[in-house]
Structure 1
Amino acid sequence: MKRIIPLVALVALFGCEQEVVPEASAATCAPAAFQQAIRELRNEANRKAFTQACRSFEKARQMRSWEFKPSSPDRY
């Protein structure tokens, strides 16, 4: 019983400390916030996941934004 308590305490300390990857949004993917979030992430896999999520967010935002461009006048 005396051996189990320190083991449980170690698991509680290190097992619950999971790094949370920020959600990709306009605020978190802005250049300054993105660099800060990358610096705070310790796990390389989490850095790659966040980078990929921001790239996907930016690509989706570019696809949604459009500008009306009228066609050239007919020359017939």
Structure 2
Amino acid sequence: MKKVIPFVAVFALVGCGQETLPEPNAASCAPAAFQQAISELRKEVNRKAFTEACRSFEKAQQMRSWEFKPSSPDRY
């Protein structure tokens, strides 16, 4: 029993140090959700990584959006 308690304590401390980033998608990169996610992240490195991930996601969304634009009519 005495050997289990230090192992559990060390495992709990190691698990607390890891911060997971939210997945960049339309919901998490929306302005209100983005500000909330940024405020919840403790490390500046993680904030920058999430910001860059959202920018990349938004840029990919812009590249995927396609709209048909007809050419000007011929004038013969």
Bucket of the pairwise TM-score, normalised by the shorter protein: 0.7 to 0.9
Tell me the equivalent position of 2:73: 73
Partner SS for 1:16:
helix
1:31 CA displacement: 0.4
Tell me the equivalent position of 2:33: 33
Structure 2 unaligned runs (5+)? none
1:67 CA displacement: 1.1
Which is worse superposed, 66-75 or 33-42? 66-75
- Asked whether 1:24 is paired with 2:24, we answer yes
Partner SS for 2:71:
coil
Structure 1 unaligned runs (5+)? none
TM-score (norm 2): 0.82
1:7 CA displacement: 8.6
1:22 CA displacement: 0.3
Cα deviations across residues 38-71 of structure 1 (Å, max 9, x unaligned)? 0000011110110000000000000011111100
* Aligned-residue CA RMSD (Å): 1.9
Q: Percent of aligned positions with the same letter in both sequences?
A: 76
Aligned residues: 72
TM-score (norm 1): 0.82
Within 5 Å, give how 1:2-17 maps onto structure 2.
9=9, 11-17=10-16
**Runs of 4+ off more than 3 Å:** 5-8
CA distance in 2, matches of 1:67, 1:15: 49
